[in-house]
Amino acid sequence: MNAVIFSLLLVPLFGSFFIFIIPKNRVELFRPVSILFTLISLTQAVYLLFDSKLTGNFKTYASFEWISLYGLDLNFGLSGMSILLLVLSALLVTVSILSVSDSHSQSKGFIGSILTLHFAINGVFISGDLVSLFIFFEAILIPMYFLMGIWGGENRRYATIKFIIYTVFGSIFIFIGTIYTGLLSYSVNGRLALDYNTLSQLSFSSSQSKVLFALFTIGFLIKVPLFPLHTWLPDAHVEAPTAGSILLAGVLLKVGAYGILRVSIPFFTEGFIQFRFLIACLSVVGIIYGAIVAIAQIDIKKLIAYSSVSHMGFVMLGISAGAYLSIEGAIIQMVNHGITSGALFMLVGFIYDRRHTRKISDFGGLKLRMPLYAGIFLFTSFASIGLPGLNGFVGEFKILMGSFEAFKVLSIISAFGVVLAAIYMLWAYQRMFTGTIVNEENNTLLDLNYREIISVMPLLILMLLIGIFPGKLENLVSEESEYLSELIFYFVGGK
Amino acid sequence: MISISEIIGFNFIVISPTVVLVLTALILLFFTITIPSSDVLKKLITFLGILLTNFFIFLKFGLYLTDGVSSYFSEKILLDEFSLFGNVLIGLILLFTFNSFWKTSASLEGKTTEAIILILMSASGFLLMIDSENFIMLFIGLEIGSISLYALAGLNRGDKLSNEASLKYFLLGSLASCVLIYGVALLYVSLSISGVYETSIAINFIGAQNVPLTTLIGMIFIIVGLLFKVAAAPFQAWAPDVYQGSPTGFVGYMATTAKAASFIVLARISAISIRFILDKFELFFTIVVLLSALLGALFATNQTDLKRLIAYSGVIQSGFILSGMVSGVFGISASLFYLFSYIVQLLGIFSIFSIIKGQLTSNFEIGELSGLFLNNKFLTISFSIFMFGLAGMPLTSGFVSKFILITNLWSYEKYLLVVVLMLSTVVGFYFYLRPIWIASIEKNENPLSKIDISTSDKVSVGLLAVVTLLLGILPNVLINLTRWVVENYI
């Protein structure tokens, strides 16, 4: 088991090292070699997915001594949710490398940064204690900094600095929270034991629980991002290169929600009870606000970015409702949003590579020239809206159903978010694809090539499969959602 | 068996590093004055001298194993864990700055050996300062060390900024020395003693509440004199000007040795009289740390000169290191870890500066870094590692050192310090990432001429970068070592 866990970290790391030593003139090798490595980690993650012993609650499988003076260990383990997210991230990394244009894939730094990002993301999902979680949470910033900084758009400097400062500001809270938790654990265990097993046995007083929940959750919510902490997201998405956007929307936003589910709620449940109505309200504001702002966008990438704010609002609503169904729905929605928004950003990237513009008004009538592209875009839009039979429906339906009991009014309001999603996605589709070609430049556009079709196809298949057979996904996360919802129920009942 | 120390009447080993450095300097001086000799020979002699110094520092560990903590030369020279740690630090600094200071000195026409002799002498002074058990001895060591530094700052006589730096450093530095020696005098007047240990024993004997005011003022003056050397706010005014004006190749040495020696001495004083320090000087240290973090962060954000930026960042880092001094013995060990990792990063950064910018120049605008990535990938990557380390990014030593330091501070319930230091870290991400941005991302308008980097430079910068990463991933060895340093005072 040790070997499996560490290879999840080492494969991407070796991959980036391998890319580093390939001779500079063999640029055509970068893409296949890196995809080889990401396929290895994808296979590993999928293999773990089918091992029913691993897909329950979080279990620690490996640990090693880090600072013996304080008795601080680094722990690594797995759970159903983390394996699911490992699969998602490996898949998205693979398709994003496949989908980027040659100018990016032939750059050592670009591919190396993506593999390093893969390493850090895997680290977050397998970390079994607060310190290693924090280390990898922060380490994500380094490759993102270079991805956005070097290969970003016009205004990338502003967006990158904003992204970094927001995240660092949030992670300072997590840092302080980690230290506070560690010292509380020290007073009980006689060492800085921060692994999840030890923490779940610690009992915090009501005020400690509140403070710690607030500290951790602010840090994670910036990453989610919850309204009003979301302002870095549109800038970051617009300026990031396509692969960066795919991974940012697909995986990095999930890191925040993952942290809340993994750390904030199980260990500081009492604090969660105190704050959950506030979080739910902000989520609903985010759902509606994100959707309305998305309607008004003239830049298609910014539109999808704001739709992310809206969709991640659903995730946070489901989490804060705390019912079994809603938590399960939230985790499924995390995966679904990763797939659909990843696909949407990829599709936008394809058209951007051809036209070097993202303005909706520059397009129109694209269906005539790129019928396949238009079809795929429509399909993905439907998935994003939450059409029954596609993946988006499963998560949002569960969330709305699960949270109705806890927050009746809020879930009714947030149901309008689905309607608004239909408006912004379909209106954008109408403006971009239907009608006649107004802009002369669009006349020469070519439809998707094989590479592009192959890179988007896995995501489309998954959208359909999850929509029709959501059962497997539910099995994976049911144990964890049950544990969390029972914990929350216990604390609510205790009041 | 008669040991060598019995024959010559004193224990040679304990001061051997100092003696070797002085002897090397004298031999160089002799060669310069009498026999005209090639630079290669002089370089060899210098390098051998530094190697021999490191060897004798290693021998001191043997002496420590046989003698334990002990003092020599009628209780003037001390051999304890702090002095061993400090000796190792200075030895490493000499080794790793050898490349850049040699090249810098070689480019000083006609004054090559002059600079080398100054550096060796100042290192011997700082070693003496670290080893001293007596405040007067400490003052002598400090003066030998710093007077050479004043001269080093001004060696590039054609450069106005260099002259300014030298004069400023000299005036402010001698003022600080005055304050320090005045403190020693006050201490002597009030308690009739001048030893580090003696003071602590005397304070314990008369009870902390009965300590005369004169003693307190004397102690504060001594500490202020040392704080000046480490450029903690509000005694930081000299640092930016001196860093900016001095020949780039020397700044790495100048910045690190003075900091290392002064912090080791401060750590020892704090460790020996920890209770007294915690009682009486907590407020004083807290104010210094707060000011350092705030002023450093405030001024560092809008610097356009890289060396000034590093100087102000040094103010913040000094604040961090000092914060450990008021959070108990483990805090001191955390400070020592922080000091070590900071010095490694600083050495790396200044080696890179002197490689990029040539040795004698003073100004170094941030914009001049642009296009570095296309020019030399190795330098850019190691520069980024050092900057990420200073910023405290995980997987570098900077994160571990901040983690253990803040953990200690929190366990001593110094919440204000934690908050302010963390805020300065957030600001730090802004100004530490800016040079990385310019070096690796920004397109170059007027390209740097191709940087040729010698193998020795490559090895030393690479080693420092690897150490920075290694301490971030596997910090256990050094943490246990710094704990061993303070073991006796727990």
The answer to whether B479 contacts A67, with C-beta atoms less than 8 Å apart, is yes
Q: Exposed/middle/buried for B443, CB within 10 Å: 0-12, 13-18, 19+?
A: exposed
Q: Exposed/middle/buried for B446, CB within 10 Å: 0-12, 13-18, 19+?
A: exposed
Token representation of residue B469: 């990463």
- Per the listing, tokens 């912004």 go with A424
Please provide the size of chain B in residues. 490
Residue type, A17: F
pLDDT at B1 over 60: no
pLDDT at B402 over 70: yes
For residue range A395-428, list pLDDT tens digits in order: 888 888 888 888 888 888 888 888 888 888 889 8
| Closest-CA distance of chain B to residue A310, Å | 28
Q: Which residues contact B455 (CB under 8 A, 6 or more apart)?
A: none
Q: Could you tell me if A27 and A131 lie in one domain?
A: yes
**Total of domains in chain A:** 2
Q: What is the ipTM of this complex?
A: 0.89
- Per the listing, tokens 């967006």 go with A159
Which of B387, B429, B486 should we substitute to test contact with A (largest number of A Cβ atoms within 10 Å)?
B429
Token representation of residue B374: 């296309």
Query: Closest chain A residue to B421 measured between Cα atoms?
Result: A172
For residue range A119-153, list pLDDT tens digits in order: 999 999 999 889 999 999 999 988 988 888 888 87
Diameter of chain B by CA atoms? 71
| Last residue in a domain, options A267, A282, A307 | A267
Q: Which of B61, B211, B194, B59 is nearest to B132 (CA)?
A: B194
Q: Could you tell me if A296 and A226 lie in one domain?
A: no
- Per the listing, tokens 């020279």 go with B77
Q: Does B404 touch chain A (CB under 8 A)?
A: yes
- Residue B90 binned pLDDT confidence (cut-offs 50, 70, 90): very high
- Per the listing, tokens 């903690």 go with B232
CB A299 within 8 A of CB A359: yes
The answer to whether B388 contacts A142, with C-beta atoms less than 8 Å apart, is yes
Q: Which of A27-36, A378-387, B46-55 has the lowest mean pLDDT?
A: A27-36
CB A313 within 8 A of CB A417: yes
Q: Could you tell me if A288 and A260 lie in one domain?
A: no
3-state secondary structure of B147: helix
Residues of B in contact with A131 (CB under 8 A): 403
Q: Does B421 touch chain A (CB under 8 A)?
A: no
Please provide the size of chain A in residues. 495
Q: Does A154 touch chain B (CB under 8 A)?
A: no
Can you give the residue ranges of every domain in chain B?
16-489
The answer to whether B407 contacts A192, with C-beta atoms less than 8 Å apart, is yes
Q: Could you tell me if A439 and A369 lie in one domain?
A: yes
In whole angstroms, give the CA distance from residue B109 to residue B90.
27
Residues of B in contact with A239 (CB under 8 A): none
**Residue B421 pLDDT:** 92
Residue A183 is nearest to which of B407, B433, B483, comparing CB atoms? B407
Q: Could you tell me if A260 and A293 lie in one domain?
A: no
Residue A168 is nearest to which of B406, B426, B483, comparing CB atoms? B426
- Residue B9 binned pLDDT confidence (cut-offs 50, 70, 90): low
Q: Could you tell me if A257 and A285 lie in one domain?
A: no
Mean pLDDT, rounded, for A231-235: 89
DSSP A243-286: HHHHHIIIIIHHHHHHHIIIIIHHHSHHHHHHHHHHHHHHHHHH
In whole angstroms, give the CA distance from residue B145 to residue B119.
9
For residue range A155-214, list pLDDT tens digits in order: 888 888 888 888 888 989 999 999 999 888 888 888 888 888 888 888 888 888 999 999
What per-residue string of b and e applies to B45-73 under the rule 16 or more CB within 10 Å gives b?
A: bbeebbebbbebbeebeebbeeeeeebbb
In whole angstroms, give the CA distance from residue A424 to residue A288.
12
Q: Could you tell me if A35 and A119 lie in one domain?
A: yes
Question: B288-291: which pairs have CB atoms within 8 A and are 24 or more residues apart?
Answer: B288/B227, B288/B232, B288/B233, B288/B234, B288/B319, B288/B322, B289/B232, B289/B319, B289/B320, B289/B322, B289/B323, B289/B326, B289/B417, B289/B420, B289/B421, B290/B319, B290/B416, B290/B417, B290/B420, B291/B232, B291/B233, B291/B234, B291/B319
CB A480 within 8 A of CB A57: yes
Q: Does B430 touch chain A (CB under 8 A)?
A: yes
In whole angstroms, give the CA distance from residue B262 to residue B258.
6
Q: Which of B130, B289, B280 is nearest to B196 (CA)?
A: B130
In whole angstroms, give the CA distance from residue B89 to residue B478.
13
**Residues 362-401 (B) with a CB less than 8 A from some CB of A:** 388, 393-395, 399-400
In whole angstroms, give the CA distance from residue B201 to residue B90.
29
More confident residue, B410 or B371: B410
Q: Which residues contact A124 (CB under 8 A, 6 or more apart)?
A: A133, A136, A137, A140, A255, A258, A259
In whole angstroms, give the CA distance from residue A166 to residue A222.
7
User: Which secondary structure element, helix H or strand E, spans residue B77, and what is its range?
Assistant: strand B77-79
Indicate the pTM of the whole model.
0.92
Q: Could you tell me if A248 and A277 lie in one domain?
A: no
| Last residue in a domain, options A267, A295, A322 | A267
Residue A168 is nearest to which of B395, B429, B476, comparing CB atoms? B429
Token representation of residue B177: 């020395």
Q: Does B406 touch chain A (CB under 8 A)?
A: yes
- Per the listing, tokens 């591919």 go with A111
Residue A59 phi/psi, 5-degree rounding, is -125, 140
Query: Closest chain B residue to A164 measured between Cα atoms?
Result: B429
Q: Tally Cβ neighbours within 10 Å of residue B487.
A: 11
Residue A436 lies in domain: 273-495
In whole angstroms, give the CA distance from residue B86 to residue B90.
6
**Residue B15 pLDDT:** 86
In whole angstroms, give the CA distance from residue B417 to residue B410.
9
Query: Closest chain A residue to B483 measured between Cα atoms?
Result: A69
A·B CB contacts under 8 A: 78
User: Which secondary structure element, helix H or strand E, spans residue B151, and what is its range?
Assistant: helix B135-153
**Residue B142 pLDDT:** 92
The answer to whether B395 contacts A135, with C-beta atoms less than 8 Å apart, is yes
In whole angstroms, give the CA distance from residue A247 to residue A430.
27
For residue range B467-483, list pLDDT tens digits in order: 999 998 889 899 999 98
| Last residue in a domain, options A236, A267, A298 | A267
Mean pLDDT of all residues in chain A?
A: 87
How many Å separate Cα A472 from the centre of its chain?
20
In whole angstroms, give the CA distance from residue A14 to residue A41.
11
More confident residue, B367 or B166: B166
Q: Does B470 touch chain A (CB under 8 A)?
A: no
| Closest-CA distance of chain A to residue B395, Å | 7
Q: Could you tell me if A239 and A179 lie in one domain?
A: yes
Helices (H), B159-211: 160-191, 196-206
Helices (H), A102-155: 102-105, 108-126, 130-139, 141-151
Alpha-carbon torsion angle A135, A140, A146, A152, nearest 10: -150
Q: Could you tell me if A194 and A309 lie in one domain?
A: no
Q: Which of B463, B331, B325, B338 is nearest to B392 (CA)?
A: B338
Q: Does B469 touch chain A (CB under 8 A)?
A: no
Q: Could you tell me if A388 and A478 lie in one domain?
A: yes
How many Å separate Cα B334 from the centre of its chain?
16
In whole angstroms, give the CA distance from residue B124 to residue B217.
29
Q: Which of B230, B232, B237, B190 is nearest to B211 (CA)?
A: B190
Q: Which of B472, B316, B463, B460 is nearest to B404 (CA)?
A: B472
For residue range A42-68, list pLDDT tens digits in order: 998 888 888 777 777 888 888 888 888
**Residue B5 pLDDT:** 61
Mean pLDDT, rounded, for B17-36: 88
pLDDT at B279 over 80: no
In whole angstroms, give the CA distance from residue B327 to residue A373.
63
Which of A13, A142, A173, A184 should we substitute to test contact with B (largest number of B Cβ atoms within 10 Å)?
A142
pLDDT at B227 over 80: yes
The answer to whether B394 contacts A175, with C-beta atoms less than 8 Å apart, is no
Mean pLDDT, rounded, for B246-270: 91
CB A221 within 8 A of CB A256: yes
Q: Does A71 touch chain B (CB under 8 A)?
A: no
| Closest-CA distance of chain B to residue A13, Å | 13
Residues of A in contact with B423 (CB under 8 A): 172
Q: Which of A299, A303, A452 is nearest to A376 (CA)?
A: A452
| Closest-CA distance of chain A to residue B277, Å | 24
Q: Could you tell me if A141 and A1 lie in one domain?
A: yes
**Residue A467 pLDDT:** 87
Mean pLDDT of all residues in chain B?
A: 87
Q: Does B422 touch chain A (CB under 8 A)?
A: yes
For residue range B113-171, list pLDDT tens digits in order: 888 899 999 999 999 999 998 899 999 999 999 999 999 888 888 888 888 999 999 99
